[in-house]
Amino acid sequence: MSKKIDLKDQRFGRLVVSHDTGERKHRQVVWHCRCDCGNEVNVVGYDLTSGRTTSCGCYQRERSVEANTVHGMNRQGETHPVYVVWKSMLQRCENPNNPEYKNYGGRGITVCDEWHDAQVFINWALASGWQKGLQIDRIDNNGSYEPSNCRWVTRKENSRNKRNNRLITFDDKTQTMAEWAEEAGISYLVLCSRINQYHWPIERALTEPVRRRA
């Protein structure tokens, strides 16, 4: 047996050696150690001195969680919805090869500097009312992605805020075509046809009942 080296009270990573357990493994002393996390563990002396073991196992577990976490959002096999929103936002604004780039980055829509850090964006999202199923919406469609110009809305609300939505004014009230269709109780496609294809006056398009086929 090799000469025993006293490791008592020495620190190796997160471990502080307490005492010799009296056990031997492969002719090596097995030391009882206390970990910074509060756990206690027995470790062979060579594993301590060689740097092979530096914690009770907590460090490896933390690294495993970190490897499966994207900016605080544990993926557990799938990417968190907020992270998906963040990636999509950057792609639309900064990747010319993205199909949506022409409607965003191509016309000057940018992402503010602070939101280039995913964790900052995620913190804002969680603090500003994000819920699963909601979409990010720019209040001013000509403005960029930044805290003062963004909010969380339903898919329906978001579609109504698109810049290509046609606004219709009738009886001193202005709404999108989709909103008028819903209020009038007729199909959006029918209303589009009446106004865009057949060029009906707005009043007639909104008030004439839809003829039902026999």
Which pLDDT value is given to residue 193?
85
Which pLDDT value is given to residue 66?
56
Which pLDDT value is given to residue 77?
46
Q: What's the helix, strand, coil split of the chain in %, to 5? A: 40, 20, 40
Evaluate whether 8 touches 16 at the Cβ level (below 8 Å): no
The answer, yes or no, to whether residue 211 has pLDDT greater than 80, is no
Which pLDDT value is given to residue 165?
59
Query: Is 0.95 topped by the overall pTM?
Result: no
